[in-house]
Amino acid sequence: MAKQEKFMRRALEIARESLDIPGALPYGAVVVRGDDIVGEGLNKAVTLHDPTSHGEVEAIRDACRRLATTDLSGCDLYTTAEPCSMCVATMHVTGIARLYFASGSSESAAFFAKLADVDAKWKRRMSNDDLRHQVGTELKERQMPAEQLLANEAHEIFNDYAKRFGD
């Protein structure tokens, strides 16, 4: 078995664990450095009441804790579904080098549609395609209104921090 398949199978095993964890969703992920899994995660957004608890983000959090760093440059991420914009942003911020995924975003959307047919609580407020559009849109053109307040005070804090801890 190719090394990539081995790591993807582990992500799928993690996703399967959701069948026995109330509120968990079948999105599993692993972060790999070289030949070693350094982080694992399962989507527990519902269980933890944490909308950021996606499998990819949890795997990245786990890897960062284990490696005592926020720099995962050179690491790869294996996940059971194409990541949403939040997960992709987290991957970029931490330096993940390559993504491997099993299911595409359209299959994930179909999965949520099936859940919503059974129980309206699963109806998503925004699809991954809509989310990608909103994230890539200029602030003033997004659906969510935004207003800047007290910028000068924030800049003072940034400057004070840079003076104290900068080079």
Residue type, 55: G
The rounded radius of gyration (Å) of the Cα atoms in the chain is 18
Nearest to 30 by CA among 115, 123, 99: 99
Please give the sequence-ordered ranges of beta strands (E in DSSP) within the chain, or none if there are none. Answer: 25-33, 36-43, 76-81, 98-103
Which sequence positions are flagged as catalytic?
56
CA dist., res. 24 & res. 50, Å (int): 11
